[in-house]
Each structure stands twice: as C-alpha cells, then as structure tokens.
Amino acid sequence: MEETSTHYIELCPNPIRFEPVGKANNVFFDDANRQVFAVRSGGAMGVVVKGPDDKSVIQFRMESRGDVMSIKFSPDKKILAVQRSFKSVEFVNFLDDMTTDELEYSQTCKGKSTQIISFLWTGLYEIIFITNHGLEQYQIYPEKRTLKCLKTISLQVNWVVCMPENGILLLSSGSTGNTLHPVQVRPGVLNKLPKFEVDLPAAPKSNKVSLVERDVTLANIYNQLYIVVLRHQPSANVGAEIVLYQLQKESPARKSDVLKLDMSGRFAINIVDNLVMVHHQASKTSVIFDIQQSSESDGFIKYHYPVLSPLPIKPFKLLLPSKFTLLLPYSANWIVFQPDIVIDAKLGCLWYIKINLEPLVTMIYEKTTLISFLLKRKESKMVILSVCQKMLIPGQQANLHTIATVYDMLNTVFKSYRDTEAQVNNGELPHNVLNSWKKKVIIDQSDMFTHVFSVYEDCKDIKYKFMVAVLIEYIRSLNQFNMAVQHYLYELIINILVNNKCFYQLHQFLQYHVLSDSKPLACLMLSLESVYQPAHQLALDMLKRLQTANEEIIEVLLSKQQLLQALRFIRSVGIVDTVSSRKFLEAGLNTNDDMLFYTVFKFFEARNLRLRSNPRFQQGEHCELYVKHFESVFGIEALAAVPVS
Amino acid sequence: MNVKGHVTLKNFFIFNSNYGPREGEEEKKTLYFFPSTTDIDSQIKAIGLCEAVVKFTETFSDKPCEALHTQKTKQLFLEAEPDFWIIMTVAVPFSKKEKDDQSYYEYREEDVQNSVYRAVLLQTYKMFKLFNGTFVNILERSGGDISSLKHRLEHFYSRYLLTLKLHQSDLLDVFNGISFLPLDKNTYLQIQCLINRLEALFPTIKYTAFLYNDQLVWSGLEQDDMRTMYKYLTTSLFPSHLDQELHGSSTRSSMTAPGGTHFGKFVTGPSNLDDSSSLGKVPRVFIQSDTENEECYLLVYKALSASICMLISVNSTMNFDFFRTVDGFLGAQMSKVASDISEQYPRKSVASNTDPQFKYVYFNHMNLAQKTTVHIDIRKLSGVNIPQETLRLLGDINSDLTRDNEDGETIVKTASDFWVVGKKSDQREFYVVINQKNANLIEINEEVKKLCSTHLNSIFFLD
C-alpha cells in the first residue's frame, strides 16, 4: 500500500507484445496508426502488425526484396507503403479481409541526388515524401497501381519531425540545423508556415548540424501546438532545460516557456494528459511539468519548475516467457514515441504511459495547488471529490479559507461550462464546442452533495458550526458565480441548523435570502412551526413572494382557522370569484364559531349574488351540508332573499 | 405664568420581601433605593406599600400587578426574578392653570403610557443582567452574600438611572427592536464567511455579531441577548466611541504588515497596537444564549462604519499578541467589507427625510426588525418628525392592538389634522402618520394600501 503511493507514473498493465528484435526480425513503429510491425526476414517469413491496442492484429507475408527501412499502412489500412531504399517507396493493395495480392507498385523520388528521409500518409490516397531536397506530395490510384505528383516544395532538409494527428511536419534546415520550417499538411494541402530559428546554447564550432532530431518534439499541450526543444548546456554542471516554442499561424513560432530540469544527460520526453513528462536515463527518474501552473515570468517567457521532485516510474510485471517477472523501468533499450508511448524492442513491448492521480494527493501538500492541478487532468473527478471530502474530516480538516478557494476553483470551471452550454443553446456557438468540455472535469452541486457533503452523515464528529460554515462557503461561491443553488443543499443546511436548534441563525439566513425562496422550502418551514414559531411567518412571506402559491397560502390560513385573513387575502389578490366556497365553509364550520361561520356564509352568498344574480349555492359546489347547518342555527329566514326577476 | 412639569423619575427601588420577613427588620428587604438620600423610614414605607398592593391584587388576577396610578405619579411593578421586585415611580407631567382667578395644577396622566414605561423598566433590568448576570446568579457566585448583590446594584444603577431619558420614551421603547441593514445576498454571504473564518481561526470567540453603523447584519447571539446588546452598542458604546474619535484621542489608521493601510481598530481593547503597555478596557457581559449567565469579554473591532463584536470566553487569555493577530486577520478584510457596503449605500442624504407626506414605524415581533421614519435618528438626539401628542397616539393604538392580540386596523384623525393609521397583521405592526389635511377616510385608506404595496410587498402583510 505504502509502496504504491510513491509512484504516480506507471506503464499500462497490458502492453502490446510483439516479437523482439533479432537477427531475422526487424521491428518498426508507425506513430500515425500507432502500429508496431514485426518484419521477419524482410517479410518473407511474415509480417505481424499490432496496435493501437493489444487486441488488433494483422498478419501477412510479402516478398523479400531487401531490408525494410520503414513500413506504414494508409489511414484505412487498404494500402501498405514500404521503403527499402533512399530512392523509392513500394506500395501493396490490401483487400477487406487483409489479404494481399502481393503485387507491388513503386514511386521514385525526383532528382538524382535526392534521398527519401521519411514519408507520411496525409490522406486515404495521399502520401508525402520528405527528402533531403524538400517535399513531394503524391496522389495514389490503387486500381491503376500508379501515383501522380500533386505538389512539391524545394528546401534543403537535414531531418524531419512529424506530428501525424495534427498534420504538422517540422523540417530542419541550414548548416547547423537550427532553422525550423513548420509545414501544415492536410489532404490536398501543403502549407508552409513561417520559419523560425532555435537559439543554440553556444555558437556552433563548425558547420555541423548542432540541433539534432532526437532533441526536438512536436506536442499538443492544452490545445496549443508547441515545438519542444531539449537544450543541453555546454557545461554539465548547469542543468539542461526544455524550451517550448508556441506555433503561430501567421508569425514565426514564439518562445513561450522554459522548463528547468536541474539535471543533465540523456532525456526523453512524453506528453501525458497535457503534462510534459521528462524521463532521465541516468538517475532513472522522471519529472512532470504543468505549463498552466503558476510560474515565474519575465514578461515574455514563463519559467517552470517540476510539479514534484524527480521520482521513478513504477516497476512493472511482465510474463517472461513462462512466469511473471518484476522489471525495472528506464532500460537502455527504451525508445519513446509521442505523445505517450514507450517501446522496448528487445523485450517486444509497447506501453502507454499513464499518470495515476491518487498517489499525487499525498505528494502535493498544498490543497489549492493540488486541486488546480487535478482540475486540468482527465478522469480526475473522483479523486477531486475524495480530496474535497477529506478536507472536511477532522484530523485532515483544511481551514475555511482553503476550502473557499477550492470551491471557487471548482465553480470557475463549472460556471464557464454553463456559460458555454448556454451560448450553444442560444445558437451563439457551434455545438461541437461542447465536445472539448467532455474531456474536462466538471463538478456540479449534485456531485458535491453526493460525494462530499455526504460525509456529514457518516462522520459524526464534525462540528456543526464547521458543517454550516463549509456549506455557506459553497453557497457563497455559487452565488458569486451567479449560479442557482439546488434545494437539497438548502435542505441540508436547514436540517443541520434545526438539529442544533440554531433557529435564529436560520431566521437570519432567510431574512437575507441566503436560502432562496421556493415552494419546497416554504413547506419545510411550515413543518418547523411546532419547534420554531416564527417559521410560520417566514413560510407565508416566502409563499407570497413566489406569487404562484395562492392556493398554498389559503390552505395555510384555513388550517390555522384564520378565516377572515383568508377572505381578506383572496380579496387582495383578486381571486374571490374562483375559490371553492365549500373549502371555506368547511373550515368555518370546524371553528365551532357561529359568528365566524355566519360571516363566511354571507361572504359567499354575496359572491353568488354578484356572479349569478342569485345568492343560493349551486349543486356542483356541494355546499348542501353547510346550508343546512346555517338554516339550523340561524333559521331559514336568515338566508339572503332570492331577488324576484 | 405657566408652570410645566415633565415626566421625571421619582424613585426606583429593588426589594425582596424574603430578606426581612419579621417586624423590625423591614430595611433588610431593600436591595437598592434611588434616590439614595431617601431616609430609611420612607424607603420602608414605599416598599411596604408595594408589597401590600402586590398582595392585594393577587386576589383578583393570576397576573401580577403591573402599575399603580395616582394623581401625581405612576408606579410600575416588575417581578424581575422570583420574589425580586423592581419598582419605578415616575412623576406625571402637569401644568399650572388659572380658572376663575384660581390657580390649579392639571395633571396629564395620559402622557405617561403604561406600556412605554413598563418597557423602560424592563430595559433597566435587562441591561443590568447583561453586565452582571441575574440576581440569583450573583448570589450564587458570592455564596449567598446579599451585600455583594447590593453592591452590584448600587454600582450599576447609580450610573444607569442618570442616563434614562424618560421624557423621550415612546413606542420604540415598547418595541425595543433592531434595525437590520438591507444588504444584497453576495455581500451578506461574504460577511458570513468572514465571521465563520474568524470563529474557526480563533476558537475562543464564542459568538459574533456584525453591525454597519447602527444597523445589524448578523448575530450569532440569540435574539434576546442581541436585543439588549444592540441597545447597549447603539445607544452607549458606539456614540461614546464616536465622541472620543471626534475629539481625536484615538484616530489612527494602523499599518498592515506587507504595506497598505487598513482602517481597522479596536473599540474595546487596546486603542494603540504599537503600544503593548495598555490592553485597554474590555467589558465583560453575561450571555444567556447557550447556557445561563455565561460570562464573556465583549471585544469590539471597527473599520470605517462596520463593527464586529466578538464574545470571548472569560476563561481564555487575551494578551497583546491575541489582539495583534485578530487585528491582522480583520483589518484589511473588514475595511474591504465596509467599503463594499458603503458603495451599495451612498450616504443617505438628509433629503430623504424631507418627504412631508407620511412617516411610518414598522415592527416585526418575530425577528424584532424595526424601521422608523418618525425618528430622525435612533438615539433620539434630534427628536422626532411628528408632534409629541401624535407620537403618543401611536403608543395608544399599539396598546389597543396588543390587548386583543388579533389582527386589526385603527384609523384616527387627530385634532391637529394628522391622520394616524395603525395596522397589525400576524406578528407585524405598521403605523403611518399622514399629514394631508383635506383627505377623507377613503383616500387615506387608499394611501395606506399604496404604502403597504410599495414598502411591504415582499412579506405577507394583509391590507
């Protein structure tokens, strides 16, 4: 238990297993489709393709025509592209059942000295060759087994970094390699974005490429594209740093963030859940950076430090070959792919890296920092709710100020979601805007009620004063963000106050409308009259303000035998003509006060006369009983005379 | 020549018949007697008469005797605690008149309203109780030593009685209500949270109340304690503190640690936080909210117009550090809250009082909320907006409405052409004085309806 709590980075439990690299077996990874290719004897002994999950497997054979350099399926896996030389790429068509006719067709790059560095599928039938002389975009006609060149871009290229899911290529150019050209690629589109230069730690000694492919990564962090550059310092005493360049559409990429590593040596970078994760081979530890966390800034660039001190990835178990073995991470054979992939070709494993949020709860002591961090993570909802709950439990209790800050954070997110939702419903924003919210954590009142405030029930040693104070903080926060408070929260606070006999406090809350008017709340107040008399007045006031509760007001008054008040009330709101006379007469009879009964009776006789020119009650009003009673007490002659028409 | 007499205090005494049951020991019954110059004989006689009246009236009613009227005086009775009687005698105002060349005094008995002066009497006891605890409690604490009770009574009443302004007593004393500050929900919640955090941070603070000027915003005390406390704060502590400030003795805006000033300072407690030699005076009060006679320090802190009253258990130590930390916590926050409120309430111009059409008094028995436009200020320093006799009429209508304890309405036209309307609905009372000479009853009725619908539309108040 304690052991697990020291590791918050782990490898997924079910890695994709493939045949390890060997003499006859070559392994390739296509990060666009997230597929691992195990190619035996150049394909003659078979090719096994696995990914993106451990269940998807494709197997086929192809003729061995030399060593494979690179191999990638088209996005719909209908065409396989295989590179065996620097000059050309070969293609094979696949049928729906993933069988192949093994008939290859080929495309050679343009120009004698041109060499293909890499290639990338940009559409179902579109491919780009990245060569040392620039880009070549081709259209493929699989039925004809031919390709047609669509567009070319000429540029001296040292190396390329691709980000297939966002369609971005980054070309290194120039003698020192630090001039970078971002290119946007989409089906039918090749769009050069403004180039920029990466500043090098020291002036390059020779015309040698100083910025190398291995130190440059493309990343999507909080829906912004960045070029992530690892910057080694000339002196090993000074820690390396990571420089983030934010990609711009119209202008060169802007240096925006610097992540301070405080270590030197070999690093590998992953992007997991919008965090920049840096693995350090020498110390066998990793650190994470959250570029949205508060940071130092010189006005242009933000300087970040790791969220936590360096900690190792959790050791993992693997079935090797007959029994489970515990293995340590940071093998020298590890290769990292973007955004969150680690491959060990010697072991034949592909893992996705995960962050386990629960151990972080005890690692980040400051609760506001913790919640702010968690709110930006995926699938952190239950962890956040559990943190919020723990903040209320004696022994781990946070102070009210912290609790207030946390609630404000939760409600800031909740409020902006609500606002977006409202704008979508009003047609001011397109519907798909809400999709981005699906990944975010939204904590609403019912979550708080069910998972946080429920602790009041279970944990009896929380002081009621604290309970009320916490609820008031939450209600304050909701009100501050202009959000209507749900009735169950009011009910909770009222119950706590009533159980502790804090009626005067409750009274004051109602007086200042801290608890908003509603019929259920009014009914709750009515039920409290026996323990706190003024609740009656509070309830009536509330019903009156609601303006839709005339029936309820009449019921309340009649049940208290306040008949005259009830009559005055229906007159004041102008509903004399529509109320049920029977209800009033019944209440009048129940008072055992003949004079009161007489008054009520006469009131309705007058109404009958006015409405129908006849003082008598009609059949449908079911007042016979009361007419009889009236006659027996006051005599028939006391009835109003029927006017002669 | 016209000689006039006002309502004045003739005497005021407290006795317990059990303390001198035998003949010859009558003076032992006396616990306090004002004026102190009264000779023992007269004291014994006065008390004897009261005892006789109380005994005699018991034969006719379950309720104890409340008042004894004579031509020149009214005597009011209060059994404050079992067998402890407080008696207040006021002189009835009179004027000297001439008729047929003969001069005589005309006593205006109706100028002294029972309800008003009974309320004043009750107030004298409650105020004593606030600062000293109950009579019984004092005796318990002193091991039944009556002289310590006498000492306490002497100490308190000899000063307190001098501050009574009997001729200014009116309906407001009967209500003895609290003026609440109307405030928007968000600001109110902010104040709530500030108080909660304060109490959580300083657990020795048992109760807290928050006021803005003379208006209450929050009370952690029970209603009855707050009522008396409110009276003390608004009529005694705040005014005297204000006077001190005006005379420049303690004006100082203290500095908070990381730059920036705030306006917070202690009203009770150290007046200068840079001078640790003086802790200042912190009064002790007796609170009945949780348990009976709970003794607390009353620490009051003020920033601009906002004051916060902290009731702190007397068992806790209050040293200079404590005051400093409290100041550190409250100073900036209270200043901010105070300026937030003042933005909502730009200082009410005097012009709002000039509407000559009508004046009103409102009181709700349920929460003791009270509003008045009849009185220019709550301390009655500037008097009232309506003639004294009209004001007395309000008191009379109130007595009438209270006697039946039923909802009702009274409309009166005074000899000086004022219309006076008194209404009672559920637990609320509303009195309007309209100065409209030529109006008739129907018009006045309409006028009052309009008033109710504009001023009382958010409550269930039947026309």
Each residue of B230-278: pLDDT tens digit?
999 998 999 888 888 877 654 444 444 444 578 888 999 888 787 777 7
Smallest Cβ–Cβ distance between B189 and the set A476, A537, A572 belongs to: A476
CB–CB contact B223 A504 (8 Å): yes
Verify cis geometry, omega within 30 degrees of 0, for the bond prior to A142: no
- What pLDDT is attached to residue B78? 95
CB contact, 8 Å: B200 with chain A? yes
- What pLDDT is attached to residue A639? 85
Q: Minimal Cα distance from B219: which residue of A?
A: A505
CA B424 to each of CA A282, A599, B427, B430, B447: distance values in angstroms, whole numbers, following the listed order: 86, 21, 7, 6, 17
- What pLDDT is attached to residue A110? 86
Number of domains, chain B: 3
Residue of B212, B364, B365, B460 to mutate for A, most A C-beta atoms under 10 A: B460
CB contact, 8 Å: B158 with chain A? no
Q: State how far the Cα of B128 lies from the Cα of B156, in Å rounded to an integer.
A: 7
Asked whether residue B38 falls in the same domain as residue B164, the answer is yes
User: What is the arithmetic mean of pLDDT over B74-89?
Assistant: 94
CA A198 to each of CA A174, A204, A207, A244, B210: distance values in angstroms, whole numbers, following the listed order: 12, 12, 16, 10, 61
Tell me the chain B residues in contact with residue A553 when contact means C-beta distances shorter than 8 Å: 460
pLDDT at A170 over 60: yes
- What pLDDT is attached to residue B3? 56
Domain limits for position B420: 350-455
CB–CB contact B460 A504 (8 Å): no
**Residue A294, min C-alpha distance to chain B (Å):** 21
CB–CB contact A545 B223 (8 Å): no
**Residue B187, min C-alpha distance to chain A (Å):** 9
Q: pLDDT-derived band of residue B4, with 50, 70 and 90 as boundaries?
A: low
pLDDT at A203 over 80: no
Lowest mean pLDDT among A60-69, A302-311, A391-400, B194-203: A60-69
**Is residue B462 one of the residues assigned to a domain?**
no
- What pLDDT is attached to residue A1? 37
Smallest Cβ–Cβ distance between B407 and the set A480, A545, A565 belongs to: A565
Average pLDDT, chain B: 86
Tell me the chain A residues in contact with residue B185 when contact means C-beta distances shorter than 8 Å: 479, 512-514
- Residue ranges of A 467-486 with Cβ closer than 8 A to chain B: 468-469, 472-473, 475-476, 479-480
- What pLDDT is attached to residue A645? 62
- Residue ranges of B 72-131 with Cβ closer than 8 A to chain A: none
**Is residue B303 one of the residues assigned to a domain?**
yes
Asked whether residue B44 falls in the same domain as residue B157, the answer is yes
Q: Minimal Cα distance from A512: which residue of B?
A: B185
**Is residue B280 one of the residues assigned to a domain?**
yes
CB–CB contact A537 B366 (8 Å): yes
Asked whether residue B190 falls in the same domain as residue B339, the answer is yes
Smallest Cβ–Cβ distance between B188 and the set A512, A533, A545 belongs to: A512
User: What is the arithmetic mean of pLDDT over A352-372?
Assistant: 90
Asked whether residue B309 falls in the same domain as residue B378, the answer is no
The CATH number assigned to the domain holding B303 equals: 3.30.450.30
CB–CB contact B188 A544 (8 Å): no
Q: Minimal Cα distance from B181: which residue of A?
A: A512
pLDDT at A2 over 60: no
Q: Measure the CA dihedral B125/B220/B367/B126, to 10°.
A: 0
Tell me the chain B residues in contact with residue A545 when contact means C-beta distances shorter than 8 Å: 458-459
The CATH number assigned to the domain holding B371 equals: 3.30.450
**Is residue B24 one of the residues assigned to a domain?**
yes
Asked whether residue B295 falls in the same domain as residue B383, the answer is no
Tell me the chain A residues in contact with residue B222 when contact means C-beta distances shorter than 8 Å: 504
Q: Minimal Cα distance from B196: which residue of A?
A: A469
CB contact, 8 Å: B210 with chain A? no
Q: pLDDT-derived band of residue B195, with 50, 70 and 90 as boundaries?
A: very high
In three-state form (DSSP H/G/I as H, E/B as E, the rest C), the secondary structure along chain B is CCCECCCEEEEEEEECHHHCCCCCCHHHHEEEEECCCCCHHHHHHHHHHHHHHHHHHHCCCCCCCCEEECCCEEEEEEEEECCEEEEEEEECCEEEEEECCEEEEEECHHHCCHHHHHHHHHHHHHHHHHHHCCHHHHHHHCCCCHHHHHHHHHHHHHHHHHHCCHHHCCHHHHHCCECECCCCHHHHHHHHHHHHHHHHHCCCEEEEEEEECCEEEEECCCHHHHHHHHHHHHHHHHHHHHHHHHCCCCCCCCECCCCCECCEEECCECCCCCCCCCCCECCEEEECCCCCCEEEEEEEEEECCEEEEEEEECCCCCCHHHHHHHHHHHHHHHHHHHHHHHHHCCCCCHHHHCCCCEEEEEEECCCCEEEECCECCCCCCCCECCCHHHHHHHHHHHHHHHHHCCCEEEEEECCCCCEEEEEEECCEEEEEEECCCCCCHHHHHHHHHHHHHHHCCCCCCCC
CB contact, 8 Å: B49 with chain A? no
CB–CB contact B200 A540 (8 Å): no
- What pLDDT is attached to residue B349? 44
Smallest Cβ–Cβ distance between B185 and the set A473, A508, A513 belongs to: A513
Half-sphere exposure of B92 (CA within 13 A, CB side): 21
- What pLDDT is attached to residue A352? 92
Residue of B178, B186, B193, B212 to mutate for A, most A C-beta atoms under 10 A: B193
pLDDT at B459 over 50: yes
CA dihedral over A311, A313, A316, A321, signed as positive or negative: negative
Give the model confidence (pLDDT) of B348-393 as tens digits.
Answer: 544 444 455 788 899 999 889 998 888 877 666 667 788 888 888 9
**Is residue B175 one of the residues assigned to a domain?**
no
**Residue A468, min C-alpha distance to chain B (Å):** 9
Domain final residue, candidates B287, B316, B344? B344
pLDDT at B32 over 90: yes
CB–CB contact B193 A476 (8 Å): yes
Asked whether residue B153 falls in the same domain as residue B210, the answer is no
CB contact, 8 Å: A500 with chain B? no
Percent of chain B at pLDDT above 70? 92
- What pLDDT is attached to residue B306? 94
Prediction pTM value: 0.84
pLDDT at B199 over 90: yes
Long-range CB pairs of B438-446 (<8 Å, 24+ gap) are: B441/B411, B444/B411, B444/B419, B445/B411
Give the model confidence (pLDDT) of A384-438 as tens digits.
Answer: 999 999 999 988 888 899 999 999 999 999 998 888 888 888 888 888 877 777 7
**Residue B222, min C-alpha distance to chain A (Å):** 6
Smallest Cβ–Cβ distance between B367 and the set A400, A507, A564 belongs to: A507
Q: Hey, what CATH topology would domain A19-154 get?
A: Methylamine Dehydrogenase; Chain H (2.130.10)
Tell me the chain A residues in contact with residue B193 when contact means C-beta distances shorter than 8 Å: 400, 404, 469, 472-473, 476
Asked whether residue B322 falls in the same domain as residue B367, the answer is no
CB contact, 8 Å: A568 with chain B? yes
B202-211 exposure pattern, b = at least 16 Cβ within 10 A, e = fewer: bebbbbbbbb
What contacts B347, CB < 8 A, 6 or more positions away? none
Average pLDDT, chain A: 87
Domain final residue, candidates B169, B197, B217? B169
Q: Sort A235 into a burial class: Cβ within 10 Å, 0-12 / 13-18 / 19+.
A: exposed
CB atoms within 10 A of CB A312: 17
**Of A488, A475, A467, the residue nearest A514 (C-alpha):** A475
- What pLDDT is attached to residue B281? 84
Smallest Cβ–Cβ distance between B462 and the set A476, A533, A572 belongs to: A572
Q: State how far the Cα of B359 lies from the Cα of B383, in Å rounded to an integer.
A: 14
CB–CB contact A541 B367 (8 Å): no
**Is residue B136 one of the residues assigned to a domain?**
yes
- Residue ranges of B 348-387 with Cβ closer than 8 A to chain A: 364, 366-367, 369
Contact B64, B57 (CB under 8 A): yes
Tell me the chain B residues in contact with residue A399 when contact means C-beta distances shorter than 8 Å: 197, 200-201
- What pLDDT is attached to residue A434? 79
Percent of chain A at pLDDT above 70? 98
Asked whether residue B334 falls in the same domain as residue B375, the answer is no
CB contact, 8 Å: B192 with chain A? yes
Q: State how far the Cα of B124 lies from the Cα of A51, in Å rounded to an integer.
A: 89
CB contact, 8 Å: A534 with chain B? yes
Q: pLDDT-derived band of residue B95, with 50, 70 and 90 as boundaries?
A: confident
CB contact, 8 Å: A108 with chain B? no
Give the model confidence (pLDDT) of A225-261 as tens digits.
Answer: 999 999 887 776 778 889 999 998 888 888 999 999 8
Q: What is the ipTM of this complex?
A: 0.85
Smallest Cβ–Cβ distance between A399 and the set B200, B219, B427 belongs to: B200
**Residue A504, min C-alpha distance to chain B (Å):** 6
Longest dimension (CA), chain A: 126
- Residue ranges of B 395-454 with Cβ closer than 8 A to chain A: 407, 425-428
**Is residue B142 one of the residues assigned to a domain?**
yes
Tell me the chain A residues in contact with residue B199 when contact means C-beta distances shorter than 8 Å: 465, 469
**Is residue B206 one of the residues assigned to a domain?**
yes
CB–CB contact A512 B407 (8 Å): no
Q: Minimal Cα distance from A568: which residue of B?
A: B462
CB contact, 8 Å: A565 with chain B? yes
**Residue A186, min C-alpha distance to chain B (Å):** 51
Tell me the chain A residues in contact with residue B190 when contact means C-beta distances shorter than 8 Å: 476
